[in-house]
């Protein structure tokens, strides 16, 4: 699947959770320590534009503040990322980052951002009482890609310590536990 198609699919799942969030649940605690449901959206709409700007000189359209309208903030952001990926010239552009070197822009979006949206879909669902089921194949793909880089992932500060789960846990539970979530705790 192309980076554009993969983002379209993953972003649609996150968008469904954003749109499905009851107004009185935006300040509910999220599984990420110290975050609320609103902060899950804030994270995605704030870190990635800065990453693109510094690494590829790309400026995404900005929506309203997540504090004012988390649904519109997400939608404008998600649409801007999709437009970037749908632009045929994006595949010819390069993102440069001191930690990862030079990467084709569409692949950088896929590698660093789309997976983040996927994982945070669970966080938003958990915080807002929505269906938490994730695509098992995508969970397996992410887990297989992260496990060999566990030391680098842990030292980045972007993931919490691995949570222990039963050896026979399903792939979603194992992937979430790997990134530091405790899917067995309510």
Structure tokens at 37: 């449901």
Q: Which residues of the chain are in CATH 1.20.120.450 domains?
A: 3-133
Superfamily of domain 3-133: dinb family like domain (1.20.120.450)
What is the CA angle 41-43-53, rounded to 5?
Answer: 120
Q: What pTM was computed for the model?
A: 0.93
Q: What is the pLDDT of residue 156?
A: 73
Query: To which residue do tokens 């605690």 refer?
Result: 29
Average predicted confidence (pLDDT) for the chain: 93
Instruction: Convert the pLDDT of each residue in 31-70 to its tens digit.
Output: 998 999 999 999 999 999 999 999 999 999 999 999 999 9
**Measuring CA to CA, which residue among 80, 82, 59 is closest to residue 5?**
82
Q: How confident is the model at residue 108 (pLDDT cuts 50, 70, 90)?
A: very high
Structure tokens at 142: 């992410």
> Alpha helix locations (H) across 57-96?
70-86
């Amino acid at each position: 699947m192309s980076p554009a198609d993969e983002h379209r699919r993953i972003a649609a799942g996150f968008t469904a959770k954003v749109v499905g969030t009851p107004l009185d649940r935006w300040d509910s605690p999220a599984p990420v320590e110290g975050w609320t449901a609103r902060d899950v959206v804030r994270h995605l709409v704030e870190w990635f534009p800065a990453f693109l700007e510094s690494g590829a000189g790309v400026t995404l359209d900005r929506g309203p503040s997540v504090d004012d309208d988390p649904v519109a903030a997400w939608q404008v952001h998600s649409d801007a990322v999709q437009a970037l990926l749908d632009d045929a010239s994006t595949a010819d552009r390069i993102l440069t980052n001191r930690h990862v070197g030079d990467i084709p822009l569409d692949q950088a979006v896929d590698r660093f951002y789309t997976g983040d949206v996927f994982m945070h879909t669970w966080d938003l669902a958990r915080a807002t009482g929505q269906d938490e089921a994730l695509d098992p194949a995508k969970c397996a793909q992410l887990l297989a890609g992260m496990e060999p880089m566990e030391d680098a992932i842990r030292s980045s500060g972007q993931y919490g310590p691995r949570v222990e789960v039963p050896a026979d846990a399903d792939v979603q539970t194992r992937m979430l536990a790997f990134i530091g979530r405790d899917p067995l705790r309510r």
